[in-house]
Amino acid sequence: MRRYYYTTIILLLAMKANSQAQFELGFFGGGANYLGDLVETRFPFFNETQVAYGLSGTFIFGNEWGIRLGGIRGNISGQDSNFKDQGIVDRSFSFNTEITEASLVLTWEPFGKKRYREDHRFRKIFSPYIFAGVGMTFWDAQPDFSLASREKWFERIQRDRPNEGAQSSLSLPVGVGLKRDLGKKAVISLELGLRTAFSDYIDGISHTGNPEKNDWYTFGGLTYSFRFGPKDADNDGIVDKEDRCPRVAGSYSAYGCPDRDGDGVEDLEDVCPDQKGTIAMNGCPDRDHDLVNDILDQCPDEPGTEATNGCPDSDKDGIADKDDTCPFVAGLQELNGCPDADEDGVADWEDSCPDQAGYVDCYGCLFTDADQDGTPDSDDLCPDIPGLLGANGCPDQDRDGVADFADKCPDLAGLKSKEGCPDISEEAKKVLTFASKAIEFETGSDVIKKNSLKTLEEIANILIEYPYYSLKIGGHTDSRGNDKLNLDLSRRRARSCYNYLSTKGIDKTRMNYQGFGEDQPIGDNTTTAGRKLNRRVEFNLYIK
């Protein structure tokens, strides 16, 4: 037997030296029992359990499967007297056999993959497993017939005598177990296995018992195993041979180097270490996949080109569509992306003579200009008074492109859409939008609630800040109630706001009010939320 153990150890160490798979070396301690001619139950007789011990080596592959080579040695025993109280014939037989098993089994842990997280880091788990395989069983049967009746059992005993002593047989071990990880390098297992040795002589008794059934035996106990495998110095789940940063814990996606955002680009090379990106973008995100990273991409949600900082360029003239006055026709940088067929410095779209080179001040034409303001007389709305090109040849004191005669704010540069007056601030726009939802009245009344007065005061301040604007006040209701009453209530509520603003110093000539009742809903009148939206007072500024 010593030769067997030495051979097993040498084989295991040799296999370990030539393998990169994870390896477990286990030491078994537990008990052995058997089922045979001296057991009258379907289960082993617990009181006959004897000590067993062993050694095993397991190669783990795929985190679920393993091949285990092992050896177990122990004693099994039994006697008829254990069952004399059950009405069984007491033959006064007993035995004590030393048994050794060498086996090669396949193990399966269905939950073994949970031992490693997605980032390949180890975690301790409970893991059930099953095993099955083949083995060789060696035993030294020592039956004791000394107390048996010679007259009754002599002939059968003589037939069994030749089978005493050392024997061996093929065996089929199967069983179940439960593993508990003590750490990455150690594990303890509780295991119970059943074997058939294809022999009825493990106990040395056959003809004196039941020669038609072979003997079975069991091993059960605890195995303490040490795990071995490729070195992983930083304990990040990636072996040093494959780890680009073997001394610093990292992630699997970055080949073992630190990668905070998990994008596969290690932090030292990641331009955006806290934002998940792509390898092609050096670790930076590129949402629109135009090969311009989002940090530099001025249009991160629209594919563009590097020349236009990631923004679309439909006509491919090197000017982004958002900055291109002529985005669908290739043009010149100096003309904001518009073409100039006659090369006179005036873009074709504003060149009154696109096929004949002219003057910039003359919209690309050669023409007469009585007031010499650069606007052709044919286009000059003020042909005798020098003006500006942008104002159709008329004076434009604030140079906002709106001639003074049409400019409601001639001393303030404004917008053409606002008849030459400046637009109000975004904050003021928010106040007006909020007011339509915030102004509240007493139920069924035109009395303004106190909590709404502050908003009306803010509207008054806007009118004071922008004296060139007038105000339209429109009252609205939901659809509940009488149509005429709703119309009257909406008008009275608009008038209440009108009157309150006048008390804050706003000239009534700058304001007008009107009630619309339920005719202009903005929400669903069948729902509470919709009706609430419909009960509102709207405030709209306009140029008078």
Number of helices and strands in the chain (H, E):
6, 12
Q: Is residue 393 part of a domain?
A: no
Q: Which amino acid, 50?
A: Q
Question: Can you give the CATH number for the domain in which 58 is found?
Answer: 2.40.160.20
Q: Is residue 271 part of a domain?
A: no
What secondary structure does DSSP assign to 50-118, as a single string?
EEEEEEEEEEEETTTEEEEEEEEEEEEEEEGGGGGGGT------EEEEEEEEEEEEEEE-TTGGGGB-T
Q: Give residue 20's pLDDT.
A: 40
Q: Give residue 185's pLDDT.
A: 86
Q: Is residue 388 part of a domain?
A: no
Last residue of a domain, which of 185, 207, 228? 228
Residue 216 tokens, joined:
């079975």
- 483-503 and 453-465 helices cross at what angle (nearest 10)? 60
Residue 80 tokens, joined:
């008829």
Residue 20 tokens, joined:
């990169």
Q: Is residue 313 part of a domain?
A: no
Nearest Cα residue to 516 out of 481, 478, 543, 459: 478
Residue 166 CB: number of other CB atoms within 10 A? 9
**Spatial distance between the Cα atoms of 485 and 446, rounded to a whole number of angstroms:** 12
**Spatial distance between the Cα atoms of 39 and 210, rounded to a whole number of angstroms:** 11
Contact 73, 100 (CB under 8 A): yes
Last residue of a domain, which of 211, 228, 245? 228
Q: How far apart are the first and last CA of the chain?
A: 113
Q: Which residues pair with 55 in a beta bridge?
A: 27, 71
Q: Give residue 253's pLDDT.
A: 67
Q: Give residue 494's pLDDT.
A: 95
Last residue of a domain, which of 198, 228, 258? 228
Q: Is residue 521 part of a domain?
A: yes
Q: Is residue 81 part of a domain?
A: yes
List the 536-542 sheet strands across, edge first: 511-515, 470-476, 536-542
Residue 294 phi, psi dihedral angles, 5° rounding: -60, -25
Nearest Cα residue to 175 out of 190, 163, 160: 190
The domain containing residue 149 runs over which residues?
2-228
Q: Is residue 276 part of a domain?
A: no
Length of the chain: 544
Nearest Cα residue to 207 out of 157, 151, 147, 162: 157
Predicted TM-score (pTM) of this structure = 0.46
**Spatial distance between the Cα atoms of 411 and 404, rounded to a whole number of angstroms:** 9
Q: Is residue 184 part of a domain?
A: yes
Question: Can you give the CATH number for the domain in which 480 is found?
Answer: 3.30.1330.60
What secondary structure does DSSP assign to 137-188, as a single string?
EEEEE-EE-TTS-HHHHHHHHHHHGGG-EEEEEEEEEEEEEEEEESSSSEEE
Q: In the chain, how many domains are there?
A: 2
Q: Is 125 left (phi over 0), alpha (psi -120 to 50) or beta?
A: beta
Residue 540 tokens, joined:
């709209």
Q: Give pLDDT tens digits along the chain (544 positions).
A: 444 444 444 444 434 333 344 899 999 999 999 988 888 777 888 888 999 999 999 998 878 999 999 999 999 988 877 877 654 566 778 888 999 999 999 999 999 888 877 666 778 899 999 999 999 999 988 887 777 666 677 667 777 676 777 889 999 999 999 999 998 889 999 999 999 888 888 888 877 777 878 889 999 999 999 988 777 766 666 776 777 777 777 676 677 787 777 777 887 777 888 788 887 888 888 888 888 887 888 898 889 888 888 899 888 888 888 888 898 888 888 888 899 888 888 888 888 788 888 777 777 777 766 777 777 777 778 887 887 777 778 888 888 888 888 888 988 888 888 888 999 999 999 999 998 888 999 988 999 999 999 999 999 999 999 999 999 999 999 999 899 999 999 999 999 999 999 999 999 999 999 999 999 999 999 999 899 899 999 999 998 8
Q: Give residue 132's pLDDT.
A: 97
Q: How far is CA 500 from CA 269, 400, 455, in A?
A: 65, 35, 11
**Spatial distance between the Cα atoms of 292 and 457, rounded to a whole number of angstroms:** 49
Residue 510 phi, psi dihedral angles, 5° rounding: -90, 0
- 453-465 and 426-438 helices cross at what angle (nearest 10)? 150
Q: Give residue 85's pLDDT.
A: 63
Q: Give residue 10's pLDDT.
A: 41
Q: How far is CA 157 from CA 63, 99, 150, 196, 197, in A?
A: 52, 22, 9, 23, 22
Q: What angle do CA 493, 455, 536 make, to 5 degrees?
A: 40
